[in-house]
Chains A and B, each alone.
Chain A
């Protein structure tokens, strides 16, 4: 099979030029001034925006936890359905994800507005209007809505593989349903949980669309900050690269921690 190695040559070139080099360029920009001299000022300037990092991590964390809590029962219920039903039900759950996520976020804009559908309906009952849009709650909601399927899918694919006889054996050995859940199903679905968490957390922490559309521009996230430095109101690509670099490091750390929970060294997708 050795000869087959040459097949990967075109891709290796591609990979180096378009994956590795660009990332190195981010690092290069992060450590240079606009005239190309070495500096660590960009990185140290990122410290100024610590509160944005904290907010992003916090909102993404909340969204991830909410997603996990919402998705776990869904995935469990799906995996316990009759086999022929599972495919169809999974399809129904995943279908909204196939809509462009800008449109999905836009849908919430129309729902949450001060004169939006929700306040309008509440108004009929004499309630409200409540301030729903342009809050951090709206941003979290947008994240949960957009990324919930990313949590359901890995959870489901792990749970589906759990052998029914394992559960039966546990109950034969005297486990009640709570301890079956806690001692059998949860440990067995751990890989699904970890990959679900990364699949929700990473896009949530770096989004700039959701915060812009649902956060009213006053709930900046890391993504907004990066976008602002490259294409927005505060042109400063060096700082933008530095922020991107810090973001990458944060995610790397989180991934490493999450990998500790995976039983084998499988790559999280």
Chain B
């Protein structure tokens, strides 16, 4: 069973608490190390100055569109404020905005009229965007730091020649739950816990169709990449069945809800789950044996980009070892970046929840882009599921509303009639 022992975390958390409010994953860092990190970073800038200062004073700005809570903000003491560091180093100003789901990102780009220079979609969305000609090829000469990306994460199926994307993070989906209330032993927890009526109204669910369907598909024993309308319908029915015990459908809201103990069980991305666990000691994270999704999020440049070179500079900057480390340390996802991986605590490096073994990985599925029809079916089923009534009460509402309308109209007509009578006299 791959799961994080809570003890390790509480020990680590205790170690940090004394020093500061810092909540980074590799909590073992001391003040000295932070200083060295700072100096390391500075020497690095000198080394590459020619590369990064090309746009200095040219009033260039880029628009970065990233997932919420997906970059190191410097909020925790001693960590780097990645965006500000980039701005200071290069003189390029960054308009940083966030999205919550791949589909939201797609809608925003597909709608048109918006310019983004760097986006960070997941695997299946990247292949969809390549197919629909929405992102452009990268000039790898401008991204020398691509050399740090591990072999395993290059030339993935979604971008076979690795011309369009530079991997940022990867991870798995698992279940985060409150150990103190859920009295099922860790190794017995499977996806069906999300359908367990004992925890009615204590369950949160993904608020995006692909991730939600994937879980239902695992429970139904289907492929995570099925395109068969009947199988999709089966999964949708499973989700509809679950709806009555789901407290809410959330994305980034989960940080707050699980952190504050508003809900007990939720499926989520491993990295975020680790972050949440730091704010709530009673939580635990489990990746069920029955399979899960393995995802890679990678940086891409949309066609609309006005400053491709500056965007590539940003991507390269994100691959600077110190920056990659700062990010991964803050957001707690797994890194495809070899240098950042080396900088991690051995505890995390050996933690199967972050870096599962190859045989375990073999049990996980990477999403592929579905056909347009399958996507459409999924979206329709998703909307239907979301709009389904939890209980049958609403059936009588239609007639009641119609009757009400009718009554109002009759009333109006009568009033008019009486008025017209009055006018005669």
Contact = CB atoms under 8 A, between A and B. Distances in A.
A233 B260 CA distance: 26
Interface in B376-390: 379-380, 382-384, 386-390
A50 B395 CA distance: 11
Contacts of B386: 217-218, 220
Nearest to B262: A114
B263 A225 contact: no
Contact of A234 (B111, B382, B416): B382
Contacts of B384: 48
Interface in A50-66: 50-52, 54-55, 57-58, 61
Contact of A115 (B249, B261, B408): B261
Contact of A225 (B104, B246, B387, B388): B387
Contacts of A134: 247-248
B425 interface: no
B101 to A, nearest CB: 6
Interface string A212-225: 00001110100001
A234 B262 contact: no
B199 interface: no
B263 A257 contact: no
B103 A234 contact: yes
Interface string A231-269: 111111100000000000000000001001100000000
A230 interface: yes
B104 A231 contact: yes
Interface in B41-78: none
Contacts of A257: 405, 408-409, 412
Interface in B393-422: 394, 397-398, 401, 405, 408-409, 412, 415-416
A233 B394 contact: no
B207 to A, nearest CB: 5
A233 B382 contact: yes
A85 interface: no
A267 to B, nearest CB: 19
A234 B383 contact: yes
A188 to B, nearest CB: 16
B29 interface: no
Contact of B246 (A55, A218, A228, A236): A218
Contacts of B243: 218
B387 A49 contact: yes
Contact of B107 (A114, A216, A225, A235): A235
Contacts of A133: 248, 262
A137 interface: no
A80 interface: no
A55 B250 contact: no
Contacts of B380: 48, 234
A233 B250 contact: no
Interface residues of A, number: 33
A51 B262 contact: no
Contacts of A131: 201
Contacts of B247: 134, 216
Contacts of A113: 260, 262
Contacts of A48: 380, 384
A231 B408 contact: no
Interface in B348-396: 379-380, 382-384, 386-390, 394
Range of interface residues on chain B? 35 or more
B108 interface: yes
B208 to A, nearest CB: 5
Of the candidates A114, A231, A257, the one having the most CB atoms from chain B within 10 angstroms of its own CB is: A114
Interface in B228-255: 243, 246-250
A261 B415 CA distance: 9
A232 B209 CA distance: 11
A52 B398 CA distance: 11
Interface in B322-363: none
Nearest to A217: B249
A109 to B, nearest CB: 9
B44 to A, nearest CB: 39
B9 interface: no
Interface in A110-159: 113-115, 131, 133-134
Contacts of B208: 233
Contacts of B207: 217, 233
A260 B412 contact: yes
A115 B260 contact: yes
B106 interface: yes
A260 B405 CA distance: 13
A233 B208 CA distance: 6
B60 to A, nearest CB: 27
Nearest to B204: A216
Contacts of B147: none
Contact of B104 (A51, A218, A233): A233
Nearest to B243: A218
A217, A218, A233 — most chain B CB neighbours (10 Å): A233
B110 interface: yes
Given A51-B389, A233-B208, A216 B248 contact: yes
B146 to A, nearest CB: 31
A134 B247 CA distance: 7
Top 9 A-B residue pairs of the complex, sorted by shortest distance between their CB atoms:
A216-B248, A217-B249, A235-B107, A234-B379, A233-B103, A260-B412, A52-B387, A134-B248, A114-B262
Given A58-B397, A220-B383, A231-B107, 11 more contacts: A48-B380, A54-B401, A55-B389, A113-B260, A114-B261, A134-B247, A231-B104, A234-B379, A235-B103, A257-B412, A261-B412
25 contacts: A48-B380, A49-B387, A51-B387, A51-B394, A54-B398, A54-B401, A55-B389, A61-B401, A216-B248, A216-B250, A217-B207, A217-B250, A218-B390, A220-B386, A233-B103, A234-B379, A234-B382, A234-B383, A235-B106, A235-B107, A235-B379, A257-B409, A257-B412, A260-B412, A261-B412
